[in-house]
Amino acid sequence: MADYKAPLRDMRFVLNEVFDVSSLWASLPELAETVDAETVEAILEEAGKVTGKSVAPLSRAADEEGCHWKDTVVTTPAGFVQAYKTYAEGGWVGVGGNPEFGGMGMPKAVSAQVEEMVNSSSLAFGLYPMLTSGACVSINAHASETLKAKFLPNLYAGIWAGSMCLTEAHAGTDLGIIRTKAEPQADGSYTISGTKIFITGGEHDLTENIIHLVLAKLPDAPAGPKGISLFLVPKFLVNDDGSLGTRNAVSCGSIEHKMGIQASATCVMNFDQAEGYLVGEPNKGLAAMFTMMNYERLGVGIQGLASGERSYQNAIEYARDRLQSRAPTGAQAKDKVADPIIVHPDVRRMLLTMKALNEGGRAFSTYVALQLDIAKYSEDAETRQRADALVALLTPVAKAFLTDMGLETTVHGQQVFGGHGYIREWGQEQLVRDVRITQIYEGTNGIQALDLMGRKVVASGGAYYRLFSDEVRQFIAASDSALSEFTKPLAMALTKLDELTDWVLDRAKSNPNEIGAASVEYLHAFGYTAYGYMWAMSAKAALDKASEESFYASKLGTARFFFARLLPRIHSLAASVQAGSEPLYLLDASEF
């Protein structure tokens, strides 16, 4: 496997030249005081070093070893404890955390780049700080000041870790039917009883304490999702002076044996009248959890991007070195027995597809992160409201499309290697196995598509969608003729997406099946169009510099490939959407 090198040049291009983040941050008073280009540059450089040198070298051996469970104790693979200590001591767990409690206070647009780096280095390793950061988001937004002061500093510092305990054996997506119970106690605490499954980082040896956020129901809770509350349940109770107290009644019953992410402990967690503390208001647990979800779902999308980036780095190195056959136009490396496989059209197709999807995905994930930042930090109510609506619309696209494309890019990378891609020692088969989970957890991609189509597009009467569509049209209208080779196909794609949106809105009035029938193909059509917008903006930033530096020439060439070879996929997707729901209901259940 090639050594991982953080794509810092492209990250800087996206942040500084495509989105001009410094101007945005300067307009947001809270960020203007803490964030500047020099600080961000130093953060990205250092994050690239720590992930590339301390984490990435562990990935393959950690996958081979996996986690170990014995008598409720989980041990992570060799090297993880020291690597996590190094990572935590650099402040990386709390890079986006509240400075009042020891976080670095960086905007999501910056922490998103750090997330990509750590997940490219090792997806399994990156899950531990990711779950901690997610728990911190909910605690910071909804917990009492006492709980925040007691728990956030050590979480941000990486001394303690966090987990999110939602899923139960009978309740995955349908959280309204969970059975975990919370009983109020005289001292204001609660006893939590129940079993949760698929809990990432529920138990491990990386930190001295683990802080679980647990969904449970109070005795008088109303039925369904409106009766769910959120509780903070530490592995070890914490004394008033901050020291660790007795072991709480929470334990790991087993760990799962999985297709991938072997070095990430996926746990069955048992709560046996464990002491916990209410986060937020009673019966408002889902709202508190969903504060975190937009960040976490974007984070999962970034995992797909990160896997694709690692796959591309491996594949491009291999394609330049592997000698097989001669180019169709004749020998290129005449001093060698054969040409490197990068000369062959199909290999170039795969490499360019990977490059275009990765770089488009990096721009798109950063764009969504910027909306999160605007929604959080803007002092203008209308601006915050618009950003909130865009976050709601784009989060399911970011989670599902980035991870679907992540699987495509890792498979392409494996295919470039041929038979060697199927062999463990090259690392490509691990990337394929690892990235597969990203399409499943934090809400399967089918659920994400249903959320986009049903809750965000149809339920709003298309209002959320029009915010995005109008922005893209304004960009096209403001672009000069020099950019027309990119804006014309983008305009055509947007018109097609407008038509699909109106088609589903109209058909859903008389047939609710149309929403689910259209959802996955619609999300993909949306994703390719959104990437088209990203690539048009990237081309604009590169256009006048292509003759100055090969980076910009490469950017323009990749943009042209995207518009010529990948954006046209929307036509088959549109045909599938407009076939309607009827073909899905031609068979009785017994006829399958």
Cite the active site residues. Answer: 442
Phi, psi of 327 (to 5 degrees): -60, 150
Category of 580 on φ-ψ map: left (φ > 0), alpha (ψ -120 to 50) or beta: left
Element at 69 (helix H, strand E):
strand 68-70
Q: 213: helix, coil or strand?
A: strand
117 within 8 A of 51, measured Cβ to Cβ? yes
124 within 8 A of 262, measured Cβ to Cβ? yes
The residue assigned the tokens 């304004």 is 474
Angle made by CA atoms 471, 472, 476, in degrees to the nearest 5: 120
Report the residue count for the chain.
Answer: 592
| HSE of 19, CA atoms in CB hemisphere, 13 A | 26
2 within 8 A of 314, measured Cβ to Cβ? yes
* C-beta atoms surrounding 108 within 10 Å: 26
Long-range contacts of 471-475 (CB under 8 A, 24+ apart): 472/529, 472/533, 475/533, 475/536, 475/537
Task: Compute the distance between CA of residue 296 and CA of residue 163 in angstroms, rounded to an integer.
Answer: 12
Question: Which whole-number Å values give the CA distances from 364 to 144, 278, 470, in the listed order?
Answer: 34, 36, 17
Residue 368 token pair = 């969504």
| HSE of 129, CA atoms in CB hemisphere, 13 A | 35
92 within 8 A of 50, measured Cβ to Cβ? yes
110 within 8 A of 40, measured Cβ to Cβ? yes
Q: 499: helix, coil or strand?
A: helix
Task: Compute the distance between CA of residue 369 and CA of residue 281 in angstroms, rounded to an integer.
Answer: 27
